[in-house]
Amino acid sequence: MTSVAILGGTGQQGRALAQRLQHAGLRVTIGSRDPGRARAAVAAWIALAPAVEVADNAAAVAQADVTMLAVPFTFVDPLLEELRPHFKVGSLVVDLIVPVTFAGGKIAMVEVAEGSAAEHVRARLPASVRLDCDEFVCGDSDAARAEAVALVALLPGLRPVDVGALSRARSIEHLTALAIAINRRYKIHDARFRVVGLT
């Protein structure tokens, strides 16, 4: 059974993924800086997905075939620096991070020297792991993209769209900022994009 670690799984984005992936039959571990605090934080919803496990970030990564990054962009550098030695050789990293700030209640994209958060993350991962991101799936390895597409396809209601090279993350991350702006303007919570013309 594929083992998935979700770093930041105590947050809004990670929690939704943890529940859905566990219901899809995967072994899911929430990675946290503090597993004790994480268990308390997820106690209310983990009852709905009872097989989800909780571990510290390093232990979660060490046993995972797939690691999903769902932490705020601001904190990803020290986290990856700490975790670099712990990734399983050949594992897949799925990056969900969008480099935005909400200072003063306004959403703004963070300027990332590498072009996108995904490329920033790639530069800080061991060479032995493969990177992909989001329902729009991008990555420089055909095999890694195919694996990520298969994972997304397990989730009811999500359709994976393979958009090619990792540098496409620049467009995807800007689209996510646009979705957040639409949510705010229309006072909704689930603005999404659909590609028409794909069969």
Ligand X SMILES: NC(=O)c1ccc[n+]([C@@H]2O[C@H](COP(=O)([O-])OP(=O)(O)OC[C@H]3O[C@@H](n4cnc5c(N)ncnc54)[C@H](OP(=O)(O)O)[C@@H]3O)[C@@H](O)[C@H]2O)c1
Which residues of this chain interact with ligand X, rule CB under 6 A? 8, 10-14, 32-33, 38, 70-73, 75, 79, 96-98, 100, 176
**Nearest-angstrom CA–CA distance, 60 and 70:** 13
Q: How far is the CB of 65 from ligand X (least distance, A)?
A: 21
Q: In a 3-state reduction of DSSP, which class is residue 13?
A: helix
Q: How far is the CB of 69 from ligand X (least distance, A)?
A: 7
Residue number with CB closer to ligand X (11 or 115): 11
| Region for residue 115 given its phi and psi (left: phi exceeds 0; alpha: psi -120 to 50; beta: otherwise) | left
Which residue has 């990555």 as its token pair?
139
Beta bridge partners of 145: none
Q: How far is the CB of 189 from ligand X (least distance, A)?
A: 8
**Nearest-angstrom CA–CA distance, 18 and 119:** 24
Residue number with CB closer to ligand X (75 or 193): 75
Q: How far is the CB of 78 from ligand X (least distance, A)?
A: 7
Q: In a 3-state reduction of DSSP, which class is residue 127?
A: coil
Q: Which residue is nearest to ligand X (CB)?
A: 11
Residue number with CB closer to ligand X (108 or 143): 108
Residue number with CB closer to ligand X (52 or 71): 71
| H or E element in which residue 67 lies | strand 66-69
Q: How far is the CB of 127 from ligand X (least distance, A)?
A: 23
- Copy the structure tokens of residue 83: 């975790």
Residue number with CB closer to ligand X (37 or 143): 37
Long-range contacts of 139-145 (CB under 8 A, 24+ apart): 139/165, 139/166, 140/165, 140/166, 144/92
Q: How far is the CB of 73 from ligand X (least distance, A)?
A: 5
Residue number with CB closer to ligand X (134 or 147): 134
